[in-house]
Structure 1
């Protein structure tokens, strides 16, 4: 499996990006003006300082989708199903810590614009039969969404007791439309091919990793598929450091019709119910790959506080 790296400024970028997303569910974009702003690095540094303080606990979520979510307890039978991380979910109308500059809020708007451009590329590239499925152009589906979420998260360092198959982020698919992720400084993101083999996703400095979610798969009848991915501990000692990442999960407005069966809101409800029937305790924002039962995922949909 080859996840393509696409230069945003190349005239062939839209077609190459769509081809990679069709083949793998992932694409890596470099050269976008957002990378030159330095905002991802700035946010990383600001929030690393915030996570190092107890001030974060003032914002612990008590049932809302936004706010701080601490590391889940590591005891009990559910412990192997949990990612070892803490995170803060930033939403357009959610809480924001007074201890942190507004860089993440400015990034929120810029990343949403990038997502709209990329969705336009994807919509332009689909076959006519797929395009007829769309109730409106893909970028317009983002308008008025209240579920789009920027998650700033810190994976804990390795403890030294990990086995070769230990994971930082367990295998999952994203449930939203598309996800925009500035390449983390510490590698480890992998995608699974149809034969079950895992492949590293390019994560060069300044790159943006984009992947399809289940809602895009529903919209396109499988032309763009939500692909299983995970985060492994890197080789070479970097596992001893915290791993920061800031995925942004782009959702359509709830009333957008994905297909004859679901609106965005009804599909979201269904998948949440599926997970709860399975007994998962997913971190807010995520869903597990129920077919492979490899653990709780942690990316892609805003959920209430886990039960």
Structure 2
């Protein structure tokens, strides 16, 4: 079943561009999801980041909570277990996480909405390896967006100056072992992502499921060297639903597997805060009239959605 969601070799963007762009665009039109292999991010870089993230989550609860920013909407630092709740869900997700954002100068016009990062002093190398992975995924995401721009008839560099100061987030997540069998909560309730695209690197266990257009849940466990990239709501809105933001979830594993922790690290690629999300003319047709006559800024949209998932 998992093979139904395609995995594509991104080196073909340089060697076989037209075919790659067509295949990638088709995958996203159908699934809103694709695997990307041969992405060029060394496994050692990914492993080093995972090691520091695991070291942080292993710290005592009171130490971790020192890095929680009350009223900050989880924008930077630590968000404890039992806070985030999928939209329309009665039960909170079974996870705790950390947010790394873009490093920008204090005199940046975006400083007010993009606070400085926090770095846990108890974990040596956290900043170096965490931000190193942030930058690598930011560059890979830009390549994916270049291919998607070409697929919908835009210049290859269309997104470059619209995401170069994007409020993008790297989110190391820890799903602790599940010790009871009859809980109503799941590791991550059914949801869609808020941003342009999400890049998910090295989920350490099965559990990700994607909802097909026919309404069935399709497990998508990728190979170790594959990064899963999916469409978020901002890109769905910008492209007038040409690229769907597909519902997905992380289910609790059966039996003994549930007693093991799960780690994953998604990178949520956002546009610059003042980017106006306005339906692209090239995506409006007689069959697909504009669904969003009113544009909205990326920051306005983000804040609206954070309230829905109880982070604000």
> Shorter-chain TM-score category?
0.7 to 0.9
Q: 2:165 aligns with which of 140, 144, 159?
A: 144
1:204 and 2:204 are equivalent in the alignment: no
Segments of structure 2 that go 5 or more residues without pairing to the other structure are: 103-115, 279-293
Quote how far apart the aligned CAs of 1:216 are: 0.1
1:192 and 2:215 are equivalent in the alignment: no
Matched residue, 2:289 = none
Q: Deviations over 1:242-277 (max 9, x none)?
A: 11011111110122121152221232344346x2xx
1:17 and 2:24 are equivalent in the alignment: yes
Return the TM-score normalized by structure 1: 0.79
Matched residue, 1:109 = 135
SS at match of 2:296: coil
Q: Against the structure 1 CA distance between its residues 155 and 18, is the aligned structure 2 distance closer, same or farther, given a 3 Å change threshold?
A: same
Is the contact between residue 89 and residue 189 of structure 2 (CA under 8 Å) also seen in structure 1? no
Is the contact between residue 83 and residue 93 of structure 2 (CA under 8 Å) also seen in structure 1? no
In the TM superposition, what are the counterparts of 1:144-223 in structure 2 within 5 Å? 144-145=165-166, 147-162=167-182, 167-223=186-242
How many angstroms apart in 1 are the aligned matches of 2:101 and 2:209?
A: 27
SS at match of 2:187: strand
1:242 and 2:261 are equivalent in the alignment: yes
Q: Against the structure 1 CA distance between its residues 115 and 73, is the aligned structure 2 distance closer, same or farther, given a 3 Å change threshold?
A: closer
SS at match of 2:302: helix
**Total equivalences in the alignment:** 267
How many angstroms apart in 1 are the aligned matches of 2:82 and 2:164?
A: 33
In the TM superposition, what are the counterparts of 1:18-97 in structure 2 within 5 Å? 18-34=25-41, 36-54=42-60, 55-64=63-72, 65-72=75-82, 80-92=90-102, 93-97=116-120
1:122 and 2:148 are equivalent in the alignment: yes
How many angstroms apart in 2 are the aligned matches of 1:139 and 1:68?
A: 30
SS at match of 1:267: helix
Is the contact between residue 5 and residue 202 of structure 1 (CA under 8 Å) also seen in structure 2? no
CA RMSD of aligned residues (A): 2.5
How many angstroms apart in 2 are the aligned matches of 1:62 and 1:86?
A: 15
